[in-house]
Amino acid sequence: MTTSGGVILTIATLIAAGRLDESLIEAALGRLGGGRLSRWIDRGDAADLEIDIERSAVRGVLEGWERVDIIVQPPGPRERCMLVADMDSTMIGQECIDELADYAGVKQQVAEITERAMQGELDFAAALRERVGLLKGLDEAVIEQCLAERIRPSPGGATLVKTMRQRGAMTVLVSGGFTAFVQPIARQLGFERFEANVLGVAGATLTGETQGRIVDSRAKLAVLESLRTELGLGEADSLAVGDGANDIPMIEAAGLGVAFRAKSALAAAADAQLDHHGLDALLWAQGIPRSAWVVD
């Protein structure tokens, strides 16, 4: 393997599940103009490279490589003590409000607002109120039907959460969605805590309003910061993952902020992007081999 002999500034975890070999590692080091293979985390899947180049430069060179994810971090311990995760289009593959709107016959209208909000083009709280207003009069029982028929966890999500929790990490699902969806999903995936909005219900139908505070970008950040204080953790101890513009503050505040199949605004703000693998790849990013994963 190539070695530059310089000071190690970056650990780059190269992830290409089922296809990572010596030639691919050499190609990565060739693009970087130096560095060395530090260790295999799981042979054929993930490996750490030691690089004497700043992290931002490593990302610029290696990101966008077909079917390869790269997670760059400073050298030193990197297993995290806290996971704060968004739900819609992150821990699950859908936007719950869009799917719920389909039962009300307004999915296209709601989905267009959702997309603009997640791109950062609209104020989140105002966009949420507008979308919830379009659900007024919908039977509350449709929520359970929607959960059963439409909502599916993202690949690797449960493994990420349950493995980190088994290893002592605090795990929190924080969502701009609704507790009626977030509570069962949090339970299913193994989260210890959750935060979300509350849909207003009267006479078994949706009122078209929410109750209590709006869980927006500021609220997500507040959850991360308050838990960090409660647990006596440093900034570097936290991992946050999300997909939309309303996740930017918590992603920027985390020790490792990851954009998962994300909108461009969040991808630009995150420490790393995960575009080609499931959420369990974030265990490799922490140096945890597959033999230590909790798999359902």
Which residues are catalytically annotated? 86, 88
Phi, psi of 139 (to 5 degrees): -65, 130
Q: What is the number of other CB atoms lying within 10 angstroms of the CB of residue 58? A: 23
Give the whole-angstrom CA distance, residue 104 versus residue 108.
11
Q: Are 169 and 82 in contact (CB under 8 A)?
A: yes
Whole-number Cα distances in Å, 286 to 41, 50, 104: 10, 15, 42
